Amino acid sequence: MVYASTMEQTWRWYGPSDPVTLTDIRQAGATGIVNALHEIPIGEVWTVEDLEKRKRLIEWDFSSNPPRKRGLRWSVIESIPIHEDIKLGKPTRDKWIENYKKSLQNVGWVGIDTVCYNFMPVVDWTRTNLELVLDDGARALCFDMIDFCVFDVFMLKRKDAQKDFSDKVLEIAHQRYESMSDENRYMLQKNIIAGLPGGQEGYTLEQFQAKLDEYKGIDKEKYRENLAYFLREIIPVAEASGVRMAIHPDDPPIPLFGLPRIVSTENDLAFLLNVVDSISNGFTMCTGSYGVRPDNDLVGMIERYGSKLNFAHLRSTQRFGEGSFHEASHLRGDVDMYNVIVAILKEQKKRHSAHRRDEIIPMRADHGHTILDDLKKKTNPGYSAIGLLRGMAELRGLELGIIRSGIKKR
């Protein structure tokens, strides 16, 4: 049989208030936990004490006497959010960058080796509907360009917003806006700007507009410079601390609200990986985010930049209409999951031959459908247990099949 190691199966846990428990995650077959100290205000230092406390909670079960290991390790932090002053390139950024460096040193000190983060301005991941009902009755997250246009042009009334949409989208959006109830309009606003789990912050309409205004004058080039400045500062510290950074792509990978987006394409990736050439300056291959753009060649991106692939979010999306998509089940939709996994496993083999210590790449099933019993429960959108369990089970089965049949692109 061919030698090949499997990826590390991880699961995003939102902390003690997550309805999905660590025991559930263990039973789902994951061995790695993806977690963040969401309670720490953006920009503040993550202390060794706080990190160790959370690590103990994740890795040890104190309900038994004596306490025993749960069989889970805190493998990835997702995310240490970046203060807006850094993104905006304000003079005060240096103070926040110093804090970020301290956090990374502390992360390395407690033995966590991967940090996922993003450089999206103002909004983190964005969806217009968190409960799209699919034809099998499952609920899925959705980004509908018409609804997005309704919000941007007719509710937020952003200056010149109509220039960002086609005439067709504008016309349908206008009709839809007119026919929407106040409650539906409120729900749409809430979905877009009130903050999704793990995202940055929530805003009111006025706060949101004020945030957007701060970005006036920051175009793509300037924004790239701000990211480059940040990377030049923090990557050497990450490297010295044994921490691998994994930048998450823009979700969705297109400009929103006239804001610059710089992690959406292969060209963007090439730019940022080039700023500092280090294994610590790596990326998250989020197949669902990059995969929304038909011009992104996911398999090629892994083949070309795999040595810097530090984390994988495996999920698929289904495009529809003009720029819209919903989350598909993990092996369906637009993502060629078979060849994505082949490419990742090939990268692991290369690392094995090169005796790299980070041979095993952590992956997690991302954004499951809400199905079965979870339809009756309160869950974190995209992160209900059963949907993710289904996704993870499908992915691990596919991975095993690929390994047993010799890891060949097909």
Nearer to ligand DNO, 234 or 407 (CB): 234
> Which residue in the set 124, 152, 336, 399 belongs to the binding site for ligand DNO (CB under 6 A)?
124
Pick the stretch among 57-65, 117-125, 207-215, 331-339 that binds ligand DNO (CB under 6 A). Answer: 117-125
DSSP label of 365? E
If one asks whether residue 248 binds ligand DNO (CB under 6 A), the answer comes out as yes
Strands (E), 13-103: 32-35, 60-61, 68-69, 73-78
The vertex-351 CA angle with 335 and 345, nearest 5°, equals 30
CA distance 207 to 345: 45
Assess whether 229 carries a catalytic annotation: no
If one asks whether residue 116 binds ligand DNO (CB under 6 A), the answer comes out as yes
> Which residue in the set 117, 203, 215, 311 belongs to the binding site for ligand DNO (CB under 6 A)?
117
Pick the stretch among 47-55, 118-126, 223-231, 235-243 that binds ligand DNO (CB under 6 A). Answer: 118-126
Assess whether 367 carries a catalytic annotation: yes
Check 116, 142, 149, 286 and give the catalytic one: 286
Residue 321: what residue type?
G
Pick the stretch among 105-113, 114-122, 160-168, 296-304 that binds ligand DNO (CB under 6 A). Answer: 114-122
Contact assessment for residue 231 and residue 281, using Cβ atoms and an 8 Å cutoff:
yes
Residue 267 CB burial class (10 angstroms; 0-12, 13-18, ≥19): exposed
Check 248, 326, 330, 369 and give the catalytic one: 248
CA distance 101 to 60: 28
Nearer to ligand DNO, 278 or 380 (CB): 380
Quote the least distance from Cβ 157 to ligand DNO, whole Å. 27
The vertex-50 CA angle with 109 and 125, nearest 5°, equals 95
Pick the stretch among 112-120, 227-235, 257-265, 269-277 that binds ligand DNO (CB under 6 A). Answer: 112-120
φ, ψ (nearest 5 deg) of residue 305: -120, 15
Assess whether 374 carries a catalytic annotation: no
Nearer to ligand DNO, 306 or 382 (CB): 382
Pick the stretch among 66-74, 115-123, 182-190, 272-280 that binds ligand DNO (CB under 6 A). Answer: 115-123
Contact assessment for residue 261 and residue 253, using Cβ atoms and an 8 Å cutoff:
yes
φ, ψ (nearest 5 deg) of residue 367: 45, 75
Assess whether 313 carries a catalytic annotation: yes
CA distance 292 to 281: 24
Nearer to ligand DNO, 249 or 407 (CB): 249
Quote the least distance from Cβ 284 to ligand DNO, whole Å. 7
Nearer to ligand DNO, 125 or 151 (CB): 125
Exposure string for 220-253, b = 16+ CB within 10 A, e = fewer: eeebbebbbbbbebbbebbbebbbbbbbbbbbbb
> Which residue in the set 118, 126, 316, 384 belongs to the binding site for ligand DNO (CB under 6 A)?
118
Mapped onto helix, strand or coil, the DSSP state of residue 227 is: helix
> Which residue in the set 43, 121, 198, 260 belongs to the binding site for ligand DNO (CB under 6 A)?
198
DSSP label of 372? G
Residue span 378-397 as binding mask against ligand DNO, x where in contact by CB under 6 A, dash where not: ----x---------------
Q: Which residues are catalytic?
A: 248, 286, 313, 366-367, 383
Residues making contact with ligand DNO (CB under 6 A): 78-79, 116-118, 124-125, 198-199, 248, 313, 382
